[in-house]
Structure 1
Amino acid sequence: MADKLPRILLVEDDTSLGYLLTEYLQLKGFYVFWASDGKKALAKLNEDVYDLAILDIMMPEMDGFSLARNIKSQYPDLPFIFLTAKSLKVDVLKGFSLGAVDYLKKPIDEEELVVRIEALLSHIKGGEPDQEEISNEVRRLGKYTFNPLNQELHFDEEVIHLTSRENELLTFLSSRINRLAAHRDILMALWGSHDYFKQKSLNVFITHLRKYLEKDEDIRIENVHGQGFILRIRQSDT
């Protein structure tokens, strides 16, 4: 049952507030993991997938701004909001410049927090294209035509028949052309978990796809060290 609940990562060093918000959000139908500092939060993000992170700013060792930078670098698809006692305009602007989707000031109105979370999650899910539609649409990749439904990659008269895993991986990457696809997001979407051995397997399939796509010099699968892959397609000038 918990697997179907919206998953929230709460990062708050105040024990009383952390406990209160965790209990309240769980009562409102969210799965919540409460981390008391940034390091614990990053460790948890390396283990599980979350729909939204709520970050306190004023924390020891790693403040919320530093944590946000790490999240943007390592988990670029994870939206986050700031929860803070700091009310200066410069702090608010800094929070948004780091990629925050919302900013709430303490003391927190729990009902307002829930309304904002629900609105944000609804907007995020509403903006995602339907997975079945993504998987089945025929798309142009440079000089190639990719047909995910038939698991085929066409180049002129040549037809490359993809394995199921190759097809899933190319579908995932081609839905994010010229954008980073994080290692963790790929592994969770295709394998359902991420570990050392699945990462090695992913690298093998990336090698396969690179070989299939090598006939078009305007296409490459770029490795972003420690983060993920980008399917780069250079636009023709003509």
Structure 2
Amino acid sequence: MGQNTKILLAEDEIALGQIVKESLETRDFEVLFCRNGEEAYETFLKEKPELLVLDVMMPKKDGFTLAQEVRKIDPKTPIIFLTAKSQTKDVVDGFNHGGNDYLKKPFSMEELIVRINALLGRIKLSSDVENIKIGKYTFNYPKQSLLAEGDTQLLTHREAQLLFHLSEKRNEILDRSVILKELWGDDDFFSARSMDVFITKLRKKLNKDENIQIINVRGYGYKLIC
């Protein structure tokens, strides 16, 4: 899917960054390689990349802070975090700071490329989807917003992705393992805990309509009832 798609890579480990850059370039991606968070933010403003790959621990500005600043002006461009941290809180923090995916070091280049292509593919898909009715709510997937009774709530990338999949399978069971692998890239314990957090957030954002429920079907997954 490369076709000269512009990717911003921020990584302070020069050797690793160079390996990632060269590997992506062999797949026809154009890579903007930055060595710290400040340089990455300036490059983002100037070059408008189509996807960001950010190391979490960087000098001058860490990846989470950088992502937050990006999200203030750009809610849509996909962000993948690279990090050695692997605790549940770290994973959840990554998504809460605007990340779309989270890759733990060490990682394989093939896995990174698969995740990049998956995110770029979802962006293309979402451009064809406009308003989705969910009870009293109007869900705009591309704009990542929920409108009800004149009140608009903005969703994070991950909340919007999860709600889209729930709405596609409304009144049916959304298989937990399948959606974890689709959105989180893994169905391990840490990913499952992270998904539970996002389900709780969506329930709160949909609580204006008492006829809407997201129920846990133990051992199988979740069901959006509306």
- TM-score category (smaller protein): 0.5 to 0.7
Tell me the equivalent position of 1:115: 114
Could you list the per-position Cα deviations for residues 121-158 of structure 1 after superposition, in whole angstroms to 9, with x for gaps in the alignment? Answer: 1111111039xxx9xxxxxxxxxxxxxxxxxxxxxxxx
| Gapped regions of structure 1 (runs ≥ 5) | 135-172, 181-238
Tell me the equivalent position of 1:32: 31
Distance 1:88 1:179, change over 3 A: closer
Aligned residue pairs total 135
Distance in 2, matches of 1:119 and 1:97, equals 20
Could you list the per-position Cα deviations for residues 61-104 of structure 1 after superposition, in whole angstroms to 9, with x for gaps in the alignment? Answer: 21111111111112222210100111111111100111211100
Secondary structure, counterpart of 1:77 in structure 2:
coil
Tell me the equivalent position of 2:45: 46
Tell me the equivalent position of 1:73: 72
Q: CA deviation at 1:22?
A: 0.1
Secondary structure, counterpart of 1:23 in structure 2:
helix
Distance in 1, matches of 2:48 and 2:63, equals 19
Secondary structure, counterpart of 1:8 in structure 2:
strand
Q: Among the aligned pairs, what percent are the same residue?
A: 42
| Gapped regions of structure 2 (runs ≥ 5) | 131-142, 155-226
Q: Relative contact order (alpha carbons < 8 A, sep ≥ 6): 1 or 2 greater?
A: 2
Instruction: Report the TM-score when normalising by structure 2.
Output: 0.55
Q: CA deviation at 1:108?
A: 1.6
Distance in 2, matches of 1:72 and 1:101, equals 12
Distance in 1, matches of 2:17 and 2:124, equals 26
Secondary structure, counterpart of 1:125 in structure 2:
helix
Report matched runs for 1:152-163 at 5 Å.
none
Distance in 2, matches of 1:13 and 1:34, equals 10
Secondary structure, counterpart of 2:59 in structure 1:
coil
Tell me the equivalent position of 1:61: 60
Which structure has the larger Rg over C-alpha atoms?
A: 1
Secondary structure, counterpart of 2:89 in structure 1:
helix
Instruction: Report the TM-score when normalising by structure 1.
Output: 0.52
Extract structure 1 runs of 4+ deviating beyond 3 A.
177-180
Amino acid corresponding to residue 103 of structure 1 in structure 2:
Y
Distance 1:122 1:20, change over 3 A: same
Secondary structure, counterpart of 1:46 in structure 2:
helix
Q: CA deviation at 1:179?
A: 8.9
Tell me the equivalent position of 1:9: 8
Root mean square deviation, CA, Å = 2.4
Report matched runs for 1:72-111 at 5 Å.
72-111=71-110
Distance 1:179 1:52, change over 3 A: farther
Distance in 2, matches of 1:59 and 1:42, equals 12
Q: CA deviation at 1:50?
A: 1.1
